[in-house]
C-alpha cells in the first residue's frame, strides 16, 4: 500500500519509454496467500524514444528473482516505484518472478479474493501489483497466460482471448492456457479463477462468424443473467449497425463479482462486472437496475473498440475512451428505449433518456466543476489517477463528444469515427489525434477553438436576453458567455457553444425561424454557434412577441442564465415543444420556489406553482415517464450548488414543505394517477411500463410525504401485494419518507424477505441512510447509520455496502449529514480513515463528500475545516485521500 503522499504528475512531462514490450508470457500458481507469478517478457528498444534503461513498475510485490537473457542483470536500480535495468542490444528476454498475497489485498486493485475466488482489476495501475512491468497504456503487448489452481476451489480458469490448452495436474490441481491475439495495454489484462457457472449463447456477427458469449456468475445467480445476456447481444448488434464495428474475438466473456470498486471493467474479451450491473430479475431488481445493467453492459462492450483497439497514450487522455464510450452508451440506450416505445412514443422515450443524462451531469459534474477538484476533461495534472475517473472526464466528456456530433452531423461524425479507426487501430493515441481526425474527415472543419473544451475547466455560463421589436417584427437575441475561474486556471477563453434555439408563439406553437439575411423561414429549432464573448442573432418575420426556448435538448454543458418570470416558466412547462426544455422549465420553477422557501422559513408554496404542476400532472397526452421526471423536485446536491451560501438544513426544510404542499393540494390528482396507471399482470422490463411505475411511485411519495391517509394506505397495500421490486421498493420508499407508523414494520418485512440477497440489502441500507426526518420525534439518520454499521449484513470491505450506507448518507442526504452539531462531520472522519486503511479508492470517493465545504454557511465551514485537517494529518494516509482532502483545504 502506498503510504506517502504522491507527487504531482504533469501531462506535459509525457515521454515515450526507452524500452517497450512485445510479448508477455505469464504463469500464475494461484494460492490465496502466496500466488507465484512468473513473467517472461520480450522487451524491445523503442527507436522513437531517448536512450535509457528498461523501466518496470512494481507495488506490494515480493520479488523472488529477476533475470535478463537468463542471467542476473548487471545494473538494477530502484527509482520512483520502478526498477531500472540497463540493457544493450535491441531486444532482451526479461524474466521476473514475484509473490503476491491476494487474501491480504483489501484494495481490490491487482489480484484479490472475493468469496473464495481470484479476480483482478488492473485499470489504471493495478497490473504493477501483480508483476513488475512497464505499466503504462502506451505499452501494447501480446499476452499468453497460464493459470494453475486447485480444481475443487477454482474449477473455472479464465483470462483474455482464446483458450488454447487445459488439463489436470497432480494434487487436485488443474491448469488452463489462454492466448490473446490482440496487442493490449496492461490495464486490460484480467484473470478469474473461481467456482462459477455460465449462461451461454452463440450468435453470428455481421460478417457471418459464429461467436460464443458467456456470462459467468455464482450458481445461485443463474436465474438472473438473462437480461445481461440480452443486453450484450443488443449491444453487439447496435455497434454493427451504427458504427460498422464487429466483435473481433471468437469468445466474449462477462464475469460478475460481488466485491468490486466500481461498476465494471472492459478487460479484453473478459469483462469483469460488479454483480450490481449484471444480476436482474423482477423480484430483486427495479426498472432502474434493468436500465443500468443494459447501459453498463453496453458501455463495457463498446470499449472493445473505443478503448481497447484504440487506446489512450497516457492517463491524461482518459476521456478519449471514456467520454466517447459514454456518448456511445447514451445513444445506444436512447435507441433501445425508442425502439421499445414504438413510433408513437419514440421521441418522448429519447427525451426521457436525455433528461436522465442531464440530471446526472447537473447533480455530479456541475458541483465538481465548481469546486477544488475542477479539471478539464483532459486534466493537466494529477496526484492519483484513480481520483480522475470523474463525472467531468466521463459525463462532461460525453457532452463534448455530443457537441462534436451536433456540429458535424450524424454522417460527418460517422465519417470521423471510420477514419479514426482506419488511422489508429492497434495504437495508443491522444485526444488531439481524435479531434484532428474528426476535422480531416469533414473537409478540414475548423475545430481549433473547439479544442478549448479539452483544455478549460469550469461550467460556462451563457447569459441570454431577447428583445422583440413590434415595429419591424424582429427578435434580437443576445448571447454572452463566460467561464468562472477554477483552481490554477484564472483566465478563460471563449468556447464554441452550440445553442439550440426555438421561439414559442403566444398560441404555444413554435415559430418557423428565419435569421436576418435568409430568404425564407426554415425549421423551428436552430442551432446557433456561439464562439465570441458576446454575439447577437437577429430573427425576422416574428409577428408577435415570442417566448424563447434556449439550449434545447441541452445542446451544451453550460448554465443558461435567462430572466424569466413565473408566468413564463409555467407557460413553457405547458407548451415548450422541446421536452428537455419543458422538463427544465419545471426544474427552474421548482428551484426558484425551493430557494425562496429556504430563505424564508415562514414562506409558503405559491399557488401558481402548484397549479403549474397540476397542469403537467394531468396532461394525459404526456408520457408518464416524462411526467415522472418533470414532477420530481430537482436533486438536493444540485440545489445546494445553486444556493449561496449553501445551507442544507434550510434547503431540507424547504423541500419538505414543497413535498407536503404538492402532496396535499394535489392529493386527488395523485390518487387518480395511481388508480389509472397501476399495472396488472406479470412484470416486464419495458419503457412504457417503467414510466407508469415511476409515476405511480412518485405519486405515492408525494401522498405519503403529505401524510395523506388514503395515500399511506395505498402504499401499505402496494408494499404488501407487489409482485416486483420496482413496486415493492417504491412503496417502501414512500412509507420510509413519511411519518407512517407502518414504516418500521415494512422495513423489517423487506429485510426478512430479502435477508439472503446482498444486492437487495444494499437498497435497504441506502433507503435508511437517505431518510429525511418527517416528524419531530423521528430518529436522526446518523443514529440509524451507526446501528446499521454493526448489522451482520454490513461490511466495510465490500464497496457496494459502503456506497449504499455511507455513500448515501454522505452524498445523498445533506440535510442530515450536515447536522448543525457537527456529528455527521466527525463521523465522516472516522469512516474515511477506517476505509483508507483497507481501500484507498473507496475512501477517496467518500472523502469527496466534503470537498465543496467552502460553499457552505460560515457555521458549517467552521465545523468542517478541522475535520478535513484531521484527515490530512492522519498517519499513513493514502495518496488517494491526501489528494482530495489536500485540494479541498487548498493545500
Provide, rounded to whole angstroms, the least separation between the CB of residue 754 and Zn ion. Answer: 30
Identify the DSSP state of 47. Answer: T
Q: Which does 576 bind (CB under 5 to 8 A by kind): Zn ion, ligand B3K, none?
A: none
Look-up: residue for cell 470491505? 797
Of 480, 652, 637, give the one whose Cα is nearest residue 550. 480
Give the 3-state secondary structure of residue 159.
Answer: strand
Between 295 and 863, name the residue whose CB sits nearer to ligand B3K: 295
Residue 197 makes CB contacts below 8 A (sequence gap 6+) with 216, 217, 218, 219, 222
Provide, rounded to whole angstroms, the least separation between the CB of residue 350 and ligand B3K. Answer: 23
CA 411/CA 44 separation, integer angstroms? 41
Pairing of strands 76-79, 62-68: unpaired
Q: Which does 25 bind (CB under 5 to 8 A by kind): ligand B3K, Zn ion, none?
A: none
Identify the DSSP state of 724. Answer: S
Between 266 and 716, name the residue whose CB sits nearer to ligand B3K: 266
Active-site amino acid positions:
300
Residue 777 makes CB contacts below 8 A (sequence gap 6+) with none
Between 286 and 319, name the residue whose CB sits nearer to Zn ion: 319
Between 121 and 325, name the residue whose CB sits nearer to Zn ion: 325
Between 265 and 788, name the residue whose CB sits nearer to ligand B3K: 265
| C-beta separation of 189 from 127 below 8 A | yes
Q: Which does 123 bind (CB under 5 to 8 A by kind): Zn ion, ligand B3K, none?
A: ligand B3K
- The sign of the dihedral angle between the CA atoms of 808, 810, 811, 815 is positive
Of 306, 299, 300, 298, give the one whose Cα is nearest residue 231. 298
Q: DSSP letters of 91-148?
A: EEEEEEEEEE-TTT-TT-SEEEEETTEEEEE-TTTTGGGTS-B--STT--BEEEEEEE
Instruction: Look at the chain and count its residues.
Output: 891
CB-closest chain residue to ligand B3K: 123
Q: Which does 788 bind (CB under 5 to 8 A by kind): Zn ion, ligand B3K, none?
A: none
Q: Which does 262 bind (CB under 5 to 8 A by kind): Zn ion, ligand B3K, none?
A: ligand B3K
Look-up: residue for cell 449561496? 644
CA 209/CA 95 separation, integer angstroms? 37
Provide, rounded to whole angstroms, the least separation between the CB of residue 306 and Zn ion. Answer: 9
Give the 3-state secondary structure of residue 333.
Answer: helix
List residues binding ligand B3K (CB under 6 A).
123-124, 262, 264-266, 299-300, 303, 322, 386, 389
Provide, rounded to whole angstroms, the least separation between the CB of residue 187 and ligand B3K. Answer: 8
Provide, rounded to whole angstroms, the least separation between the CB of residue 265 and Zn ion. Answer: 8
Of 580, 143, 470, 137, give the one whose Cα is nearest residue 315. 137
Q: Which does 304 bind (CB under 5 to 8 A by kind): Zn ion, ligand B3K, none?
A: none
Provide, rounded to whole angstroms, the least separation between the CB of residue 832 and ligand B3K. Answer: 18
27, β-bridge pairs: 38, 146
Annotate 30-48 with b (16+ C-beta within 10 A) or e (fewer).
Answer: bbeeebbbbbbbbbbbbee
Provide, rounded to whole angstroms, the least separation between the CB of residue 324 and Zn ion. Answer: 9
Between 274 and 325, name the residue whose CB sits nearer to Zn ion: 325
Provide, rounded to whole angstroms, the least separation between the CB of residue 187 and Zn ion. Answer: 12
Provide, rounded to whole angstroms, the least separation between the CB of residue 855 and ligand B3K. Answer: 27
**Cα 536–chain centre separation:** 36
What part of residues 310-339 is at the interface with Zn ion (CB under 5 A)? 322, 325
Between 188 and 464, name the residue whose CB sits nearer to ligand B3K: 188
Q: DSSP letters of 181-232?
A: -S-B-GGG--EEEES-EEEEEEEE-TTS-EEEEEEEE-GGGGGG-HHHHHHH
Between 30 and 324, name the residue whose CB sits nearer to Zn ion: 324
Between 276 and 299, name the residue whose CB sits nearer to ligand B3K: 299
Q: Which does 97 bind (CB under 5 to 8 A by kind): ligand B3K, Zn ion, none?
A: none
Q: Which does 289 bind (CB under 5 to 8 A by kind): Zn ion, ligand B3K, none?
A: none
Q: Which does 305 bind (CB under 5 to 8 A by kind): ligand B3K, Zn ion, none?
A: none
Listed in sequence order, the DSSP H helices in 244-317 are 287-302
CA 223/CA 278 separation, integer angstroms? 11
**Cα 212–chain centre separation:** 29
Chain contacts with Zn ion (rule: CB under 5 A) = 322, 325
Amino acid at each position: 500500500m502506498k503510504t506517502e503522499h504522491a507527487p504531482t504528475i504533469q501531462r506535459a512531462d509525457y515521454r515515450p519509454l526507452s524500452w517497450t514490450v512485445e510479448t508477455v508470457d505469464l504463469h500464475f500458481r494461484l494460492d490465496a496467500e502466496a500466488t507465484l507469478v512468473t513473467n517472461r517478457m520480450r522487451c524491445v528498444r523503442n527507436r522513437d524514444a531517448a536512450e535509457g534503461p528498461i523501466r518496470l513498475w512494481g507495488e506490494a510485490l515480493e520479488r523472488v528473482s529477476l533475470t535478463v537473457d537468463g542471467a542476473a542483470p548487471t545494473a538494477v536500480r530502484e527509482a520512483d516505484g520502478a526498477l531500472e535495468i540497463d540493457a544493450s542490444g535491441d531486444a532482451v528476454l526479461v524474466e521476473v518472478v514475484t509473490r503476491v498475497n491476494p487474501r491480504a489485498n483489501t484494495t481490490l486493485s491487482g489480484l484479490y479474493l472475493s468469496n473464495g475466488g481470484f479476480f483482478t482489476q488492473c485499470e489504471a495501475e493495478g497490473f504493477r501489483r501483480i508483476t513488475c512491468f512497464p505499466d503504462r497504456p502506451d505499452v501494447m503487448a501480446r499476452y499468453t497466460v497460464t493459470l494453475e489452481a486447485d480444481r475443487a476451489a477454482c474449477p473455472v480458469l479464465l483470462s483474455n482471448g482464446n483458450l488454447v490448452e487445459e488439463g489436470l495436474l497432480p494434487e487436485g490441481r488443474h491448469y488452463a492456457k489462454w492466448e490473446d491475439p490482440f496487442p493490449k495495454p496492461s490495464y486490460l489484462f484480467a484473470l478469474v479463477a473461481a467456482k462459477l457457472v455460465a449462461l451461454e449463447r452463440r450468435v453470428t456477427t455481421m460478417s457471418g462468424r459464429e461467436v460464443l458469449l458467456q456470462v459467468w456468475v455464482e450458481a445461485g445467480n443463474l436465474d438472473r443473467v438473462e437480461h445481461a445476456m440480452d443486453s450484450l447481444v443488443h449491444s453487439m448488434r447496435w455497434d454493427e449497425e451504427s458504427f460498422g464495428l464487429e466483435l473481433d474475438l471468437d469468445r466474449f466473456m462477462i464475469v460478475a463479482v460481488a466485491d468490486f470498486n466500481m461498476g465494471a471493467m472492459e478487460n479484453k474479451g473478459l469483462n469483469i462486472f460488479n454483480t450490481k450491473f449484471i444480476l436482474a430479475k423482477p423480484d430483486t431488481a427495479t426498472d432502474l437496475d434493468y436500465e443500468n445493467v443494459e447501459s453498463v453492459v453496453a458501455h463495457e462492450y463498446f470499449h472493445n473498440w473505443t478503448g481497447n483497439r484504440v487506446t489512450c497514450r497516457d492517463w491524461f487522455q482518459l476521456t478519449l475512451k471514456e467520454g466517447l464510450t459514454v456518448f456511445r452508451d447514451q445513444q445506444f440506450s436512447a435507441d433501445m428505449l425508442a425502439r421499445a416505445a414504438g413510433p408513437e412514443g419514440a421521441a418522448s422515450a429519447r427525451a426521457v433518456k436525455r433528461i436522465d443524462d442531464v440530471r446526472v451531469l447537473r447533480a455530479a459534474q456541475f458541483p465538481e466543476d465548481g469546486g477544488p477538484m475542477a479539471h478539464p476533461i483532459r486534466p493537466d495534472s494529477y496526484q492519483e489517477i484513480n481520483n480522475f475517473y470523474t463525472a467531468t472526464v466521463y459525463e462532461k466528456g460525453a457532452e463534448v463528444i455530443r457537441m462534436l456530433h451536433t456540429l458535424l452531423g450524424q454522417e460527418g461524425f460517422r465519417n470521423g469515427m471510420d477514419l479514426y479507426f482506419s488511422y489508429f487501430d492497434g495504437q495508443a493515441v491522444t485526444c488531439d489525434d481524435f479531434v484532428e481526425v474528426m476535422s480531416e474527415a469533414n473537409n478540414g472543419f475548423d475545430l481549433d477553438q473547439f479544442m478549448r473544451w479539452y483544455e478549460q475547466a469550469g461550467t460556462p455560463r451563457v447569459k441570454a436576453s431577447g428583445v422583440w421589436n413590434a415595429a419591424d417584427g424582429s427578435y434580437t437575441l443576445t448571447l454572452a458567455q463566460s467561464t468562472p475561474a477554477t483552481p490554477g486556471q484564472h483566465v478563460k477563453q471563449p468556447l464554441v457553444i452550440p445553442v439550440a434555439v426555438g421561439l414559442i408563439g403566444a398560441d404555444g406553437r413554435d415559430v418557423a425561424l428565419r435569421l436576418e439575411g435568409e430568404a425564407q423561414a426554415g425549421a423551428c429549432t436552430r442551432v446557433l454557434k456561439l464562439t465570441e464573448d458576446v454575439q447577437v442573432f437577429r430573427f425576422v418575420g416574428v409577428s408577435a412577441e415570442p417566448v424563447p426556448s434556449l439550449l434545447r435538448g441541452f445542446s451544451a454543458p453550460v448554465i443558461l442564465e435567462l430572466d424569466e418570470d413565473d408566468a413564463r416558466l409555467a407557460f413553457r412547462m405547458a407548451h415548450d415543444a422541446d421536452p428537455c426544455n419543458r422538463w427544465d422549465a419545471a426544474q427552474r420553477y421548482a428551484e426558484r420556489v425551493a430557494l425562496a422557501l429556504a430563505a424564508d422559513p415562514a414562506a409558503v408554496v405559491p399557488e401558481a406553482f402548484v397549479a403549474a404542476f397540476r397542469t403537467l400532472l394531468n396532461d394525459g397526452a404526456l408520457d408518464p415517464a416524462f411526467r415522472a421526471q418533470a414532477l420530481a423536485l430537482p436533486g438536493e446536491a444540485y440545489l445546494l450548488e445553486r444556493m449561496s451560501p449553501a445551507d442544507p438544513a434550510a434547503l431540507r426544510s424547504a423541500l419538505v414543505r414543497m413535498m407536503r404542499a404538492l402532496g396535499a393540494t394535489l392529493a386527488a390528482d395523485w390518487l387518480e394517477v395511481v388508480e389509472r396507471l397501476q399495472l396488472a399482470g406479470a412484470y416486464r422490463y419495458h419503457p412504457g411500463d417503467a414510466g407508469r411505475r415511476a409515476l405511480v411511485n412518485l405519486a405515492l411519495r408525494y401522498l405519503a410525504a403529505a401524510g395523506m391517509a388514503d395515500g399511506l394506505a395505498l402504499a401499505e397495500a402496494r408494499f404488501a401485494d407487489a409482485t416486483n421490486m420496482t413496486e415493492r421498493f417504491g412503496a417502501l420508499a414512500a412509507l420510509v419518507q413519511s411519518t407512517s407508523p407502518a414504516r418500521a414494520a415494512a422495513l423489517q418485512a423487506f429485510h426478512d424477505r430479502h435477508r439472503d440477497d446482498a444486492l437487495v440489502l444494499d437498497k435497504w441500507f441506502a433507503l435508511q441512510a437517505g431518510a429525511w426526518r418527517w416528524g419531530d420525534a423521528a430518529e436522526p439518520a446518523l443514529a440509524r447509520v451507526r446501528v446499521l454499521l454493526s448489522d451482520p449484513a454490513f461490511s466495510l470491505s465490500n464497496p457496494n455496502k459502503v456506497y449504499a450506507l455511507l455513500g448515501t448518507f454522505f452524498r445523498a442526504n445533506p440535510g442530515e449529514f450536515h447536522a448543525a452539531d457537527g456529528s455527521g462531520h466527525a463521523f465522516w472522519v472516522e469512516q474515511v480513515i477506517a476505509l483508507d486503511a483497507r481501500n484507498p479508492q473507496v475512501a477517496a470517493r467518500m472523502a469527496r463528500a466534503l470537498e465543496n465545504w467552502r460553499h457552505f454557511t460560515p457555521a458549517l465551514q467552521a465545523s468542517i475545516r478541522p475535520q478535513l485537517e484531521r484527515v490530512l494529518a492522519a498517519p499513513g494516509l493514502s495518496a488517494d485521500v491526501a489528494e482530495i482532502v489536500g485540494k479541498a483545504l487548498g493545500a
